[in-house]
Amino acid sequence: MSFLRLSGLRIDLGEFSLNGVSLDLEKGEYLGVIGPTGAGKTILLECIIGFYRPQSGRVWLEGTDITDLAPEKRRIGIVYQDYALLPHLNVFKNIAYGLRKAKIGREALEAKVRAMAEVLGIDRLLHRSPETLSGGEQQRTALARALVVEPRLLLMDEPLSALDAQTRAETRGLLREVVRGRGATVIHITHDLDDVWALADRVAVMRGGEVIQHGGLDQVFSRPASRFVADFVDTVFFEGTVQSCGQGLSAVSVNGLTLETLDQAVVGSRVRLALRPETVVVSRARPAGVSARNLIAARVEDIVPNGKTSQLILRSGETRFPALVTQGSLEDMEIQKDAEVFALVKAGCLRIVRENGLSR
């Protein structure tokens, strides 16, 4: 049995519900959970930790059924978006809160708190009241409080979403170093795909109280099981007809464009091709001697800046598709709206998604 097993969790809290969630997570894995607001992500965490008891379904941790176990006996840690620090205790006492219950002796307790605070860079703030801390410092304190008791499983509910962009990037780095570095088993709810890319081994997409797709990052991002998932993870679909299949390549005709993919398909069948914007390479001049199988002449229809990157909306004939380029590349290549460019896509980056997997 896997380290964490959720089987058929159902609960109806009126506004939020779970409608039969099943998931498996191995020890040391980091699962990112994404989905729109109201998808049931937080309720899922709160069922795992035991704040809500599912109306049906079971939660297994390390081979033991913990569905009916009180939260205080589960040894599962949680970090919330709003930190949930105890305002009547200072930073030291907040971090030490769980250790005091463990009754480990004063010196050991102090040593553990100080060591954890040092790792998270908040060792100078131990005497401070939580309300005097910045958002990033509060989140580090909440993380320290959860980690210092060495939980079997760590749950994080949008831990970075209340932080500004720079602090978010810093804290994400810290999570990678501290949480991933310790080999902790984690479920991390997020709205930010960058969190998933940077931290997670696996990803689960939730909607309407159900996990509609889960698996490795490549599996979910490159082969979304539904249009909803595709939209949510910024994957683009092209519809086309398979023209040929052989020698490890399939050629698919999409609105007059012929695109080659490594995936096999029946000649003449209608398929959908999934493409991720960050896999598209853009060039001003026609590139020669490149290995990419798909070379598409396109016009830049729009440029959407997004922090350090920009999304180019490219059009080739009737086909529109996005490409992600850095701000630096955009300036180096002097690409502006209506510029003529070439888009390169490797055959391995175009994935065939079966027609029957694309219901909304």
Partner 1 sequence: MRVGVFKGSLIFLSLLVTGLLILAVGSLFLVPEWAEVWADLSSPEMLFSLRLSISTACISASMVMVVAVPMGFALSRFRFWGQGLVRTVVDLPVAFPELVLGLCLLLLFGKNGFGDFLDSLGLSLVFSKQGVVAAQFFTALPYAVRIMKSTFDYINPRMEFVSRSLGYTLFETFLRVSLPLAKNGVLAALVISFARCLGTFGTVLILAGGSYMHTETLPITLYLNISYGNMGMALTSGILLVAVSFLAIFIFEKTETSI
Q: Binders of partner 1 among 59-78, rule CB under 8 A?
A: 70-72, 74-78
Q: State yes or no: residue 200 binds partner 1 (CB under 8 A).
A: no
238 contributes a contact to partner 1 by CB under 8 A: no
Give 275-293 as a DSSP string. Answer: E-GGG-EEESSPP-S---S
Query: Which one of 32, 40, 98, 224 is in contact with partner 1 (CB under 8 A)?
Result: 98
- Could you give the CA distance from residue 64 to residue 180 in angstroms, rounded to a whole number? 24
- C-beta closer to partner 1: residue 109 or 230: 109
Give Cα 43 distance to the centre of its chain: 18
The two structure tokens encoding residue 83: 């930190």
Our CB check for partner 1 shows the closer of 51 and 286 to be: 51
Report how far Cα 330 is from the mean position of its chain's Cα atoms: 27
Give min distance, CB of 339 to partner 1, in A. 50
Which stretch, 19-27, 42-50, 219-227, 305-313, contacts partner 1 (CB under 8 A)? 42-50
With CB under 8 A, what is the number of residues at the site for partner 1? 27
**Maximum distance among all alpha carbons in the chain?**
74
Between 146 and 165, how does the x/- string for binding to partner 1 read (CB under 8 A)?
A: x--x-x--------------
Give the span between the Cα atoms of 161 and 172, in whole angstroms. Answer: 11
Question: Should residue 46 be labelled a site residue for partner 1 when binding is judged by CB under 8 A?
Answer: yes
CA dist., res. 2 & res. 61, Å (int): 8
Task: Between 68 and 334, name the residue whose CB sits nearer to partner 1.
Answer: 68
Q: Does 53 bind partner 1 (CB under 8 A)?
A: no
Smallest distance from the beta carbon of 239 to partner 1, in angstroms? Answer: 45
DSSP 224-292: -SSHHHHHHTT-EEEEEEEEEEETTEEEEEETTEEEEESS---TT-EEEEEE-GGG-EEESSPP-S---
In our burial notation (b when 16+ CB lie closer than 10 A, e otherwise), range 19-37 reads eebebbbeeebbbbbbbee
Q: How far is the CB of 359 from partner 1 (least distance, A)?
A: 36
Which one of 30, 80, 221, 321 is in contact with partner 1 (CB under 8 A)? 80
Q: Is residue 49 at the binding interface for partner 1, with CB under 8 A as the rule?
A: yes
Report in angstroms how near the CB of residue 155 gets to partner 1 at its nearest.
Answer: 8
Asked if residue 220 lies in contact with residue 282, where contact means CB atoms within 8 angstroms, the answer is: no
Q: Tell me the C-alpha distance between 61 and 76, whole Å.
A: 10
Structure letter (DSSP) for residue 177: I
Instruction: In angstroms, give the least distance from the CB of 295 to partner 1.
Output: 53
Residue 86 DSSP one-character state = -
145 binds partner 1 (CB under 8 A): yes
Q: Judged by CB under 8 A, which stretch of 48-56, 236-244, 263-271, 302-310 contacts partner 1?
A: 48-56
Q: Contact residues for partner 1 (CB under 8 A)?
A: 46, 49-51, 70-72, 74-78, 80, 82, 84-88, 97-98, 101-102, 145-146, 149, 151
